[in-house]
Structure 1
Amino acid sequence: MASRGGIMVTGTNGADFEHREKIAIQYQLSALNKSRLKYCVFFHHVLFIVMVAKLSADILDKLDIFILEIEELQIPTPLWWEYIWCLSLLLSFLALAAIKRNNITNLRRYMYGIVFLGFGPLLYCLVYYCGDVWRYLTKDEDEDISEMDIELWQGYPYGLLWYAFIFLASQVHFFQLYFCTSLLKAWRARGALRKAD
């Protein structure tokens, strides 16, 4: 052990600690991707709050609760895909449990759930509003939006607003799947090393 002014082992200058302080790469990748996946889950929760705010008028109507401020917003009635996408939030608890215990099976279930409950409804929305968005993007400069056959909300094309949501949500889901795949690789590498020992 090298210390200031103390006894030093012959043949070393005190810099030989570097070879002993290295952490295996699969453990580093696992910790890094767990942290990144937690951030993605957080952003998924933020998008869920945005979706619930949009669905609030319909939910309050079904509960027979009248709030004038929400009714004045004239939020369009929701489609079934919006509620199905909200179910994808429940999967986040599966992901958090999986990364806590390094559970490959639960992480795979989470990935399949994100594909079906996350990307599936978003793909339906993409196709559903494709016509409105195309008409809006290809309109003439002198053509008035209100005269076109486009659904509007607060003066904005409704389909284009949904496309912005799809853009954000699909990025979050893509990164969730990417980090899950990276975690699976790291956990498999660790398991392979254990079997080799």
Structure 2
Amino acid sequence: MASRDGPVVSGTDGSDFVHRETVAAHYQISWPPKKIITELALNKGRLRKCVFAHLLLALLMLVKMVPDFLDRFDIFILEIEELEVPQPLKWEYIWLVGSLASFLGLIAIRKNRVLLLQIYFGLINLLSTVPILLAAMIYFKDFWKYCTEEEPEGLQLWLGYPVSVLWYSFIMVAMQVHIFTLIFAWKLILAWKNRGAAKKAQ
């Protein structure tokens, strides 16, 4: 261990050590503050949870569409046919296809790829959020009728429950998942872009 009272370089009394305690500016850029690193990890974790929630909703939608898939392949199962599940609309197919973008999102999170995350962001907007908004418009009339009238008539029912109410339950959950997904994805895109800009500035 060096002694404070030991010999010093000529031309200095040894009190000019302060400059050696700081980190050079270009290294400070490449090492972001701990707060930023923590926020990045937090947003990645939150986005990952949103992606898994989206996949769970997609599994629910897939189960709902099983009778239609069986009909298309001419497979007859009496127990499923007796359920009389309503025929799926086009928005359901689009939304289900859009849920495949979740795997792209998981790859982007794992590899920290800005471009992949941007593509994922666009696909979620186009193939998930838009179909859900369309579904909300399709079922709004029946849902409003159910909420405002004491004995609504002409509602489509499934197992005694209004289809519009069941769909609105799904829509509300899905819309929250998509909104939070877009928020966390956008935060990560900005953070990763800023990090890339900082590296280029070096």
TM-score, structure 1 normalization: 0.82
Say yes or no: does 1:177 pair with 2:182.
Answer: yes
Letter in 1 for 2:189: L
Return structure 1 stretches of 4+ with deviation > 3 angstroms.
none
Which of residues 157, 182, 191 in structure 1 aligns to 2:196?
191
Which of residues 70, 82, 89 in structure 2 aligns to 1:60?
70
Which of residues 82, 87, 93 in structure 1 aligns to 2:97?
87
1:16-31 map, 5 Å: 24-31=34-41
Distance, in Å, in 1 between the alignment partners of 2:196 and 2:105 is 20
Distance, in Å, in 2 between the alignment partners of 1:157 and 1:106 is 40
Structure 1: tracts of 5 or more residues without a match: 2-21
- Greater shift in the superposed pair: 150-159 or 187-196: 187-196
Structure 1 residue 98, shift from structure 2 partner = 1.3
Secondary structure at the aligned position of 1:87 is classed as helix
Distance, in Å, in 2 between the alignment partners of 1:36 and 1:50 is 21
- Name the counterpart of 2:125: 115
Letter in 1 for 2:171: I
1:71-150 map, 5 Å: 71-140=81-150, 143=151, 145=152, 148-150=153-155
Work out whether residues 84 and 117 of structure 1, in 8 Å CA contact, stay in contact via their aligned partners in 2.
yes
Structure 2: tracts of 5 or more residues without a match: 2-31
Work out whether residues 26 and 189 of structure 1, in 8 Å CA contact, stay in contact via their aligned partners in 2.
no
Letter in 2 for 1:168: V
CA RMSD between the two structures: 1.9
Letter in 2 for 1:26: I
- Name the counterpart of 2:163: 158
Q: Percent identity?
A: 47
Structure 1 residue 23, shift from structure 2 partner = 5.2
Counting matched residue pairs gives 173
Structure 1 residue 156, shift from structure 2 partner = 0.8
Distance, in Å, in 2 between the alignment partners of 1:195 and 1:109 is 23
Work out whether residues 27 and 186 of structure 1, in 8 Å CA contact, stay in contact via their aligned partners in 2.
no
Letter in 2 for 1:40: C
